[in-house]
Chain A
């Protein structure tokens, strides 16, 4: 069931209890976790934090902790599956689920006792009504039988045959109705569960809880902003929704900035200041050089087509058009001349309009504390994602999770900077892979979708054995492909990307993303498609990830899986 008053029904219930927090591995979940941890510290609530990377982890974690904990809080996992059936908990375990995955499973919505959803009810859910999915079949049978009996007892036995026929007719009628109802139910459920998409950020939900309890601080506000920006960077929500949520956050930011206005009582420079920025869409440009950032950002790279020689010339023209000397542009942004930095945003916007890039600026937030530290929300998202999916050293996932979680605190700036270095390497690797895929025509059109497979020897392929990195690569690749192909039909196709995940076990990671368009609603149907294809060819797949459009597959079963998909989708 949906929780209406999050403070009374969730926070006050768990405030005096021990709670188990099961947190998924994405940045929005990390930010939500940080906010909740800060609230728990204020009120000295005992909790245990368990990072979970997939359904198996969730099951194991639940089994380990079910004896000690009665209350479980699940962040960004668990809403899109019948949780009670999967975990088989005891009667008194209560689950609070705050998840952005939609559609929410109908059993989770209509369970009154054990599952509490920390999700806003008007959040674009479209849940079918109770009567359309559930009905008490017992009552119908009993009603029918008692009607039968009373008929039989009130009439003498001579007329029984006639009444029996009447009763049989009624039963046939009832069964036909039931079959029709079931067919309708299957159709409704199929429509409801066909497309997978994302709802409001979990970090924003918990920030609202903090705000309602008047315990919100600027740190929590910043984490909520990072959670929202994560949804935009990884292309999980539509642009409209992002802008609406930014407006909500802007109200909170102005409320917190109210105190800064007073000149007499100005705040110390070490205090955190969050400001609304209409800033450039160049990833990490303030911590890199402008030239590198333009070369490695998806938006600019795709519009200039930087994998071609022509594109590189256009980039040089673009820089010359703005009057920026190459020497300035190639050095670190912080060391660029002040005169250039002052009007940079407006200058770039003007020039980029000439080159067909109308949306080079995006609404976002920046933070500023101390004399040196200025970050944009998207910088932090990239840095933390790189730390979370770090493949450089052989560390297990829990260590990476803890490191990424720590980097979100203001006191761990070193870790944040190391995350930014990793993010730069990742972006450069993505850029090179995209360039090589397009130049060597690795993207094949299979009919209903496009397909690309990264071979094992590809440089940096280890980076792409992680789901978020591979998803980011596929989105960039699709955008670049659309710019480079002449075939109009291919531009409307979705993309399936496969990369080797574990060389020893011989598995590949397969990711499916919806087609790219201006008015895309980001709804992904590959989850169900993958399931059906795996079933029909009995391929050895592992649907472990919380996003159903990301699966692991044995390398040998690749071709028959693809063939099944082609037949399924055409």
Chain B
């Protein structure tokens, strides 16, 4: 069936955003190119995801610490984060609304038979897979994505629907502060060009307090928030106390099953879900 990727106001996909990324669809895997900062972000976001999940589980498979974990990589782009997660043993589904990104990702993984088996890519928005993927995934990663979505509340609701109870949601994104405007847009885009110009719009940046609020009112418990800092001289990322520029958040979906019934289409007029409390029964 032909899926309409643009225009529906009930989509979290922003068509203007898609056009920006279209132009760069072939540049994903140049480690020194436009996406070099995302490549080096793997040095902190992969260990963060890996160690959080290892701490939560008691199984350990030598050599493949994420073996048996089903991960959804939302807004996977060219697969920069899907591939390391796949190498660590996870079964990864990467989705991205832009077909060219998926094509790039598919081609890049095709040369490695192990990755080709562990990772599946699909050109799709998050809403489009909700119906067939209810409570399917152990983990969702939405890295450098929420600052590009049109409707954040709906995005989070969809995440909740496809995530198993007690599943983990990892988000990395940019705060909305004066500092993030100066560093994230003026410096990063206009001055030293470590991010292609026009990639980000400060209006769509998400403060961690707002993200936490949306998460908590949609059945999630926020477990940790950490600030991240990029050093353009060394080209490397590090953790920092302050979340005033970039930050990473880990949240866990409550254990009570079926917060909303599977058939409902996500709707903007839906009232606030009661916060998850332990022991709610159907």
| A and B part of one assembly | no
A-side residues, CB < 8 A to B, are none
B-side residues, CB < 8 A to A, are none
